[in-house]
């Protein structure tokens, strides 16, 4: 009944609360064990919401869930990367509190570089990012991430990173 009633604010707060309370906290894996929270149910919930909801504003709150560092999904990087891609596709690149996503990107790049490239493309070329006025800040970690992916021995990966960088230049230079 909660999801049947269209209410972006409530849906946003629900997704955000679960993410902040259960997933974004330090040592979320231990917290889940100590509190007997079934991680598989949380994963199923993310899948269910992605399948059931088409509200990009509410789905952008999954930013709190995109945690590959000291989190609930440390040992499930391919699964996490896939959910991040699906979420960013539905939100057109919008994510609230993207710090967990940005912190997770180097970890994702080591395990699933192709998915990481998709995430970067969705995030940096998404409608929300394009709406930002003027320049966007690129820190050394982002530059290192692009370098790491570019140094991948796969020529296709190198070409795609090169292409993405060229797409980004007119957006925020």
User: pLDDT band at 24, cuts 50/70/90?
Assistant: confident
Decide: 90 and 50 in contact? Cβ < 8 Å: yes
Decide: 19 and 64 in contact? Cβ < 8 Å: yes
What is the pTM (predicted TM-score) of this model? Answer: 0.91
- Given CA atoms 45, 50, 51, 54 in this order, what sign does their dihedral have? positive
Radius of gyration of the chain (CA): 16
Q: What is the tens place of the pLDDT at every residue in 35-56?
A: 999 999 999 999 999 999 999 9
Residue 26: strand, helix, or coil? coil
Which of 43-52, 116-125, 132-141, 145-154 has the weakest average pLDDT?
A: 132-141
The reported pLDDT for the residue numbered 133 is 53
> Which tokens hold the place of 101?
């996503």
Alpha-carbon distance of 89 to 109, in angstroms, equals: 19
Is 82 a residue whose pLDDT tops 80? yes
Is 161 a residue whose pLDDT tops 90? yes
- Mean pLDDT throughout 17-39? 90
Is 129 a residue whose pLDDT tops 70? no
């Amino acid at each position: 009944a909660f999801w049947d009633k269209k209410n972006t604010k409530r849906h946003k707060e629900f997704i955000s609360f679960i993410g902040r309370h259960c997933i974004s906290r330090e040592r979320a894996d231990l917290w889940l064990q100590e509190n007997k929270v079934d991680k598989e149910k949380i994963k199923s919930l993310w899948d269910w919401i992605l399948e059931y909801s088409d509200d990009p504003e509410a789905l952008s709150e999954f930013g709190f869930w995109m945690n590959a560092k000291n989190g609930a999904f440390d040992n499930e990087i391919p699964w996490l990367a896939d959910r991040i891609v699906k979420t960013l596709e539905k939100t057109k690149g919008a994510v609230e509190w993207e710090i967990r996503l940005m912190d997770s990107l180097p970890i994702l790049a080591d395990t699933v570089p192709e998915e990481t490239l998709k995430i970067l493309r969705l995030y940096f070329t998404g409608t929300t990012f394009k709406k930002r006025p003027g320049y966007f800040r690129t820190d050394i970690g982002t530059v290192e991430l692009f370098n790491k992916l570019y140094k991948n021995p796969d020529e296709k990966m190198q070409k795609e990173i090169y292409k993405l960088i060229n797409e980004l230049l007119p957006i925020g230079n």
